[in-house]
Amino acid sequence: MEIKTDFLIIGSGIAGLSYALKVSETGKVAIITKKKDTESNTNYAQGGIAAVLSPSDSFDLHIQDTLKAGAGLSNEVVVRKVVESGPAAIQELIQIGVDFTRAKKELDLGREGGHSRNRVAHAADLTGREIESSLIRAIKSKKNIAIYEDHIAVDLITQHHLKGYQKKPEEKIKCWGAYVLDVRTGKVNKFLSKITLLATGGTGRIYLHTTNPAIATGDGIAMAYRAGAPVANLEFIQFHPTSLYHPEGNSFLISEAVRGEGGKLRLKSGELFMQNYHPSKELAPRDVVARAIDFELKKSGDNCIYLDITHLDKNFIKERFPNIYQRCLSLDFDITKEWIPVVPAAHYICGGIITDLEGKTDIDNLYACGEVAMTGMHGANRLASNSLLEAVVFANFAAETSRKFSKIEKGHKFPSIPEWSTKGVFDHKEWVIISHARQEIESLMWNLVGIVRSNSRLEMAKSRIDILLEDINNFYHQNPVTYEVIELRNITKVAELIIRSALLRKESRGLHFNQDYPQKDDRNWKKDTILKSR
Ligand code: FAD
Ligand code: SIN
């Protein structure tokens, strides 16, 4: 089957949906999403969205905080543009129906690590769900937007798919859409589009312990890299300091806003320790807090540390953190009376597909926005709650440019794109290989490419992932394409790219800490780590 559209959007989180709303004013839009429409990292965001929203704050302060967290690798021009676009983006979200928490009539602004002012707009501790459901409601009211649930993109369509194609030197790669598996029928269809947006989110599921939902398998980064788009800074993986440590609560985030409201981190003995690591203590930047916890856990051999908010008013806790309160209560502990057991977990990838200020990638007609992109905003470490902000603002920039393009391109013709080929494919029914390989990669990344790295651990990870990559590529080419195989292929590729990037960077900066090079080296390494396949 062949579906033709003006705009193909891969992903239905804040980036994809915000872009869809804007471009639907000029053309037909198809959104494909690999599970249900709301299933995304966006849907689980807790803390909120950062912007300059109070008279005691200023653009310069937000810019300085972002640059400081970015540890020398953020692009100041990008940071300024995003920060200055923040207040208008929040107003637009309010207009489409996002009900942010208010104190009297004003927005109630929270504080998180690295912010010098209260500037985080939130909807209690369910900000993501409020944003996602409001965007989906708005999308569903538009006639020319179609959402395809349970559709997973396999690969981008470029001239490399044309029969007999030979690339000419200096020729730019073009994108005409994507091959997409309809999970319900098992068929791979062609979605042809004038413009394609990758809004596939993050990579948390590459790690054993993560705050991310199951969709976060780095598909967009893998597809773009295979197609020939440069990717950058993949070594900068943000580990959130406080995810719940509980056999049934694995991957549940305990928002940084809990520390923003006065939560204290304690060792099992009750001792406070953050004062030994940073003057801002519990509200130090995330990389500092995550490394401090990692260090304390390695020293004590304990499984977790504790987040204590028992000194706060019980009713305030229930009102400010209803989701966290209820989730913990369902696991039989009451956070108004008991300390919360927490550990760090993989949370966010600062690197991604390189884009310009309009969200354009290096491939013609291909844009990328949100967590999948590397715009220059976050540098070596993302400031809390800057991610939803960057995603929505860049979706707006990208929509503005692509709308102009689609107007010029009326009467557009697609080349003759071949059907998905199943030549040489047999069902070997060796499905155990998939679950085994996935578990191995998650453990390998957690143990060897985690919060603290070393040359020997990274080299060990590299030699194993190279073997897995070859095995899984062979498996992919010999077996029918399924949801599980697509994700495994992408996870393996992105793991390999993260390891390669981490090996290249011979210093410690922001989220990348290598104990063999414990210092920052501005003379040689104040630059992005760029990888490209063609
Ligand atoms: P996502 O929201 O992740 O959406 C990606 C979409 O792509 C999904 O619909 C997915 O199904 C789809 N997809 C992926 N691969 C494919 C494929 N191959 N084919 C088809 N569809 C595909 N940031 C903040 O700024 N503030 C916060 O308070 C905050 N809290 C967070 C809490 C948690 C628990 C987590 C996990 C993250 C949090 N973040 C927060 C980070 C932030 O939520 C994400 O970075 C942001 O939501 C990413 O939005 P996105 O649109 O780029 O991707
Ligand atoms: C949180 O609520 O702690 C997550 C905020 C973020 O990742 O920006």
Q: How far is CA 381 from the centre of its chain?
A: 13
Is 73 touching ligand 1 by the criterion CB < 6 Å?
no
User: Any idea which ligand is nearest the CA of 127?
Assistant: 1
Ligand 1, closest atom to CA 152? Answer: 19
What beta strand segments (E) does 362-487 contain?
366-368, 373-374
Q: How far is CA 178 from the centre of its chain?
A: 21
Model pLDDT, residue 232: 98
Contact between residue 254 and residue 248 where contact means Cβ atoms under 8 Å apart: no
Contact between residue 235 and residue 505 where contact means Cβ atoms under 8 Å apart: yes
Is 282 touching ligand 2 by the criterion CB < 6 Å?
no
Is 33 touching ligand 1 by the criterion CB < 6 Å?
yes
Task: Work out the average pLDDT over 224-252.
Answer: 93
Is 256 touching ligand 2 by the criterion CB < 6 Å?
yes
* Fold (topology level) of 240-347: Flavocytochrome C3; Chain A, domain 1 (3.90.700)
CA nearest to 55, candidates 106, 1, 96: 106
The beta-carbon contacts of 424-427 under 8 Å, at least 24 apart in sequence, are 424/477, 424/478, 425/477, 425/478, 425/479, 425/480, 426/478, 426/479, 427/479, 427/480
Closest residue to atom 24 of ligand 1, CA basis: 385
144 pLDDT higher than 90: yes
Model pLDDT, residue 405: 75
Ligand 1, closest atom to CA 373? Answer: 52
Model pLDDT, residue 251: 76
CA distance 305 to 269: 10
User: Any idea which ligand is nearest the CA of 253?
Assistant: 1
Give backbone dihedrals phi and psi of 336, rounded to 5 degrees, phi first. Answer: -80, -15
CA distance 432 to 435: 5
- The CATH-assigned architecture of domain 2-46+126-235+350-408 is 3-Layer(bba) Sandwich (3.50)
Q: How far is CA 45 from the centre of its chain?
A: 11
409 pLDDT higher than 70: no
How many Å lie between the centroid of ligand 1 and the Cα of residue 32? Answer: 15
Is 387 touching ligand 2 by the criterion CB < 6 Å?
yes
431 pLDDT higher than 90: no
Closest residue to atom 47 of ligand 1, CA basis: 42
Model pLDDT, residue 424: 79
- Domain at 432-528: CATH code: 1.20.58.100
Pairing relation of β-strands 187-198 and 175-182? antiparallel
Task: Work out the average pLDDT over 484-507.
Answer: 98
How many Å lie between the centroid of ligand 2 and the Cα of residue 423? Answer: 45
pLDDT category of residue 408 using cuts at 50, 70 and 90 = low
How many Å lie between the centroid of ligand 1 and the Cα of residue 29? Answer: 20
- When mean pLDDT is compared across 142-151, 154-163, 346-355, the lowest value belongs to 154-163
534 pLDDT higher than 90: no
**Lateral strand order in the sheet of 109-110:** 49-50, 120-121, 109-110
411 pLDDT higher than 80: no
249 pLDDT higher than 90: no
pLDDT tens for 264-310 read: 999 999 999 999 999 999 999 889 999 999 999 999 999 999 999 99
Indicate if 240-347 has the same CATH topology as 2-46+126-235+350-408. no
- When mean pLDDT is compared across 81-85, 160-164, 387-391, 392-396, the lowest value belongs to 160-164
Here the tokens at position 87 are: 């207040």
Is 211 touching ligand 2 by the criterion CB < 6 Å?
no
429 pLDDT higher than 60: yes
* Crossing angle of the two packed helices 483-504 and 455-478, in degrees rounded to 10: 150
3-state secondary structure of 506: coil
Here the tokens at position 470 are: 């070859």
Mean pLDDT across the chain: 95
Q: Which residues pair with 507 in a beta bridge?
A: none
Contact between residue 414 and residue 76 where contact means Cβ atoms under 8 Å apart: no
Model pLDDT, residue 447: 94
Ligand 1, closest atom to CA 389? Answer: 25
Is 258 touching ligand 2 by the criterion CB < 6 Å?
no
**What residues act catalytically?**
286
| Surface-to-core class of residue 458, CB atoms within 10 Å of its CB (0-12 exposed, 13-18 middle, 19+ buried) | buried
Q: What is the percent of the chain with per-residue pLDDT over 90, rounded to a whole number?
A: 89
216 pLDDT higher than 80: yes
pLDDT tens for 329-386 read: 999 999 999 999 999 999 999 999 999 999 999 999 999 999 999 999 999 999 999 9
pLDDT category of residue 407 using cuts at 50, 70 and 90 = low
CA nearest to 490, candidates 531, 434, 444, 451: 434
Closest residue to atom 30 of ligand 1, CA basis: 45
67 pLDDT higher than 70: yes
Listed by start position, the domains of the chain span 2-46+126-235+350-408, 240-347, 432-528
406 pLDDT higher than 70: no
CA angle 387-303-293, nearest 5°?
Answer: 45
Q: How far apart are the first and last CA of the chain?
A: 29
Model pLDDT, residue 421: 86
